[in-house]
Structures are given as C-alpha cells and as structure tokens.
Amino acid sequence: MELKDIQNTPPEEKIHLDKVGIKGFKYPIIVLDREKGFQHTVAEINLYVDLSAKFKGTHMSRFIEVINEFKGEIHIKSVIKLLKMLKKKLSTRSAHIEMYFPYFLEKKAPISKIPSLMEYQAFIIASYFERKKDLVVGVKVPVMTLCPCSKSISKYSAHNQRGIVTIKVRFKKFIWLEELIEIAETSASSSVYSLLKRPDEKFITEFAYDNPKFVEDVVREVAKKLLNHSEITWFSVEAENFESIHAHNVYAYIEKNNTRI
C-alpha cells in the first residue's frame, strides 16, 4: 500500500515559515573541559529548519536521523557540520540548533579547601545559512550579591541574595566555559559553593560585606572584562537577583552592540 506523504503537499496558506522542527529532545553530548579535556553530559536539544511556502510540513523524523548520525559525538566543533547535514537532508535555506546542558566543575571551598562539584547551566546556539554561520556560547552562573544601599543605611548588617549571571558570547577563537564562569563569579560580591564548612561561611559572609554590588554593578563589571577579551567579538550580559527582602527580583542587561558602550 502506498503511504501518501502529506508533508510534501502544498499548504492552504502559502506562507514561508522561519523555523519548524523539534524541541526538548534529550541526547548525550561531549563538552570540552579545560582541566580534564572533555566531559560527557546530556543536552536538551531544539533543532529547526525553515520551511518553504510550497510544503505543508517538514519531515520531523529526519531531525532525529541526523542527530543519530553523530552517535553522541556532538560538541561545539561539530554543530555546524550537523547543521549542514540537516540543511542538505531537508533541502532548506537554513538550519538552527539550541543545546542546553548542565556543566560540572570541581570547586574548592575558600578556607577549608574541601572540593565539591558545582553545576552550571550552559548552552550552545548555532545557525547555518547559505555559506554563513553563527555560533553563540553561553553559561548561567549562580552568584551572591550584597546590597550597597542596605549596607550604608543599616547599623548591623546588609541584605544579600543569590542571583544568576547569564553571559552569551560570539568569538574569533574558542572560548572556554571556565573563562566565562570565572568572569561572572569575580564580578559579584561572592561566588557560591556546593559545600561549605563554618570557616568558609565566615569568610564568604565577610568577603561579600566588604564587596557590595548592585545588580547593575555586576553587569558593568562583567561587560568591562568581556570588552577587554581579545577573542570576543560580541556579547550580552544579564543579571537577575532573587531578592531576599523584596517580593520581586531585580534585573540588569547590557549588549556589546549597544552604541552607548
């Protein structure tokens, strides 16, 4: 029996679509690790192509077929190759991938030096057009901030909170995730850790008190360091604090192509 291919039939509304594809597909990938060479992790992958106005739908199974061609060998140096293969297999103008994955680093407590694994949320976003490619790498870094205003008006202490700094970059040469993590952590009032003993807690509390930062300060400090990085061609930075004494969060954002930088 012949099975009709409905996807290849013309749609009622002949409108070109920018992105069609799959979202939320879990798959093992390899991430380059500055200290260990690489680490295995599991990414949530979104994969898209554009769709001609001549066709009702795309062939969703072919997205998985292309991913399976790489048999877990998906990493930053192979994503463009994957997109080229997808674009060719589906005969499209463009192909796009988004990969979101946990990245783990061993981090030592500041005083006791006890090591523990710290999780960061990283991502790779790439697109391939006709002989043109775009690649963005980024990471979400948990940090701690202590409020300068609270410190200045309070007799005993100052409120502090955890926040998330998100850095996205385009670059000329390879950028380690560790570099971006270090930039974010050193731009806040303090780093955060998975495991701390009492001497570590004392140190961090006092260190943050001596290093108060508004969310705006954090974003400016990260931007300054990225602007001085010779390999980075574009960036965006956002910081969000999960406020400890307010019923809302606070937020700041900056992008390199902003003419005021």
pLDDT band at 1 (very low <50, low <70, confident <90, very high): low
Domains contained in the chain, CATH given:
1-100 (3.10.270.10), 109-261 (3.10.270.10)
Cα dihedral 166→184→119→252 (10° resolution): -30
pLDDT (average), residues 142-150: 96
pLDDT band at 260 (very low <50, low <70, confident <90, very high): low
pLDDT digits (tens, 9 = 90+) for 195-231: 999 999 999 999 999 999 999 999 999 999 999 999 9
pTM of the model: 0.91
For the chain, the three-class secondary structure string (H helix, E strand, C coil) is CCCCCHHHCCCCCCCCEEEEEEEEEEEEEEEEECCCEEEEEEEEEEEEEEECCCCCCCCHHHHHHHHHHCCCCCCCCCHHHHHHHHHHHHCCCCEEEEEEEEEEEEEECCCCCCEEEEEEEEEEEEEEECCEEEEEEEEEEEEEEECHHHHHHCCCCCCEEEEEEEEEEEECCCCCHHHHHHHHHCCCCEECCCCCCHHHHHHHHHHHHCCCCCHHHHHHHHHHHHHCCCCEEEEEEEEEECCCCCCCCEEEEEECCCCCC
